Amino acid sequence: MRMVRILAAALAASTIAGGAIAADLPSRKMAPPAYVAPAPIFTWTGLYVGVNGGGWFNNSRVNVFPGISGKLGGGGGLIGGTLGYNWQTANRIVVGLETDLDYRTKTTVTPPFSVSSQTNDGYLGTLRGRVGYGFDRALIYVTGGLAYGNAAAPNAIVSLPLAAFAVRNGSPGLQAGWTVGAGAEFAVTNNWSIKGEYLYADLGSKGVTYTNAALVPFAVGEKSTDHIARAGVNYRFGFGGAPVYAKY
C-alpha cells in the first residue's frame, strides 16, 4: 500500500507540473508580431539631368609667327546642361556615362610680343565615362572621354616690335579632342544631388586664319587646352532606393 501511495503522489505532481508549463506557453490564438519592412538602401543607379557652371582657365599656346610662340592666358565662365546615367554594382562601384554642353565666355589674352586682345566666345562639350565608389550618399569618381568645341582665339594680333597687324577671319570652327578629370557628388535627397569636378580638356591643334595689313591671309597655329573647375546640381529620376530582401 505504501508503494501505491508513493506512485500516486508522483503521478499527481507530474500532472500539475505539466499543466503549469503548458499554461506558460503562448496561445496559438495570439496574432503574430507585425512585419516591419527594412528601410531601402540608397543607390546611385538611374537617369539624371542637371545644370552646371564654373570657370575655365586658358592654357592654350599660339604660334604667332614662325619660331615665336607662347601661352595666351586668360579665362572666363562656363554654364550649361548635363545628362547622364549611373549603374551601381553590389559592391558599391558606380559606373556611368555623362554628356554636357556649356557656353564659354570671351576672355582677354596676350599673344607673345603682342598687345592684349579679346577672344571669341564659344562652347565646350564632353561625352565621358565615369567610374567611382559610393559611400552611401557620397560618390567620388574619375572621368574621361571625348571633348569638343571651338578655340578661344585672339580677335586680332597687334605686335609693335614685329610691326605686325592682323585680324581674325571669322570664328574658329569645331575641334575635337579628349578630357580627363575627377569629382565628387553628394545626394542631398533621394532625387537631388550636388557635385563639384575638375576637368582638363585638350581640343588639339588647328590653324586659325588671319588677314594682315596687306590683306594677305595667313594661318596662326593654336593648340587649345583648358583647365575647368565647375559645380553642378542634378535631378535624379525615380531614386527611392533599392529594396532590401531578407535572406534565410
pLDDT band at 2; cut points 50, 70, 90: low
pTM: 0.79
**% the chain with pLDDT above 90:** 65
104-122: b or e for each residue (b if 16 or more CB lie within 10 Å)? Answer: beebbbebbebeebebbeb
**Reported confidence tier of residue 58, pLDDT bands at 50, 70, 90:** very high
* Residue 99 domain-assigned (yes or no): yes
> Are 99 and 125 contacting, i.e. CB atoms less than 8 angstroms apart?
yes
What pLDDT, on a 0 to 100 scale, did the predictor assign at position 108?
95
In 3D space, the residue among 246, 244, 172, 234 whose CA is nearest the CA of residue 197 turns out to be 234
Residue 10 lies in a domain: no
Is 121 contained in some domain? yes
C-alpha cell at position 41: 538602401
Q: What tens digit of pLDDT does each residue of 106-139 get?
A: 999 999 889 999 999 999 999 999 999 999 999 9
Contact criterion met (CB below 8 Å) for 225 and 201: yes
**Domain span at 163:** 46-236
User: Quick check: is 133 in a domain?
Assistant: yes
Q: Quick one: pLDDT band at residue 243, thresholds 50, 70, 90?
A: very low
The amino acid at residue 209 is T
Lowest mean pLDDT, pick from 1-5, 10-14, 125-129, 243-247:
243-247
Q: What CATH number should be reported for the domain holding residue 153?
A: 2.40.160.20
How many domains would you assign to the chain?
1
Mean pLDDT of the chain: 85
14, part of any domain: no
Q: Say if 208 falls within a structural domain.
A: yes
Residue 170: CB atoms within 10 Å:
9
135 falls within a domain: yes
DSSP per residue, the chain: -HHHHHHHHHHHHHHHHHHHHHHHSPPTTSPPPPP-PPPPBP---EEEEEEEEEEEEE--EEEEETTEEEE---EEEEEEEEEEEEEE-TTSEEEEEEEEEEEE---EE--TTS--EEB--EEEEEEEEEEEEEETTEEEEEEEEEEEEE---BSEEEETTTTEEEEE-S---EEEEEEEEEEEEEESSSSEEEEEEEEEEEEEEEEEEEEETTS-EEEEEEEEEEEEEEEEEEEETT---B------
Q: Does residue 33 form part of some domain? A: no
pLDDT tens, position by position, 143-194: 999 999 999 999 999 988 777 889 999 888 899 999 999 999 999 999 999 9
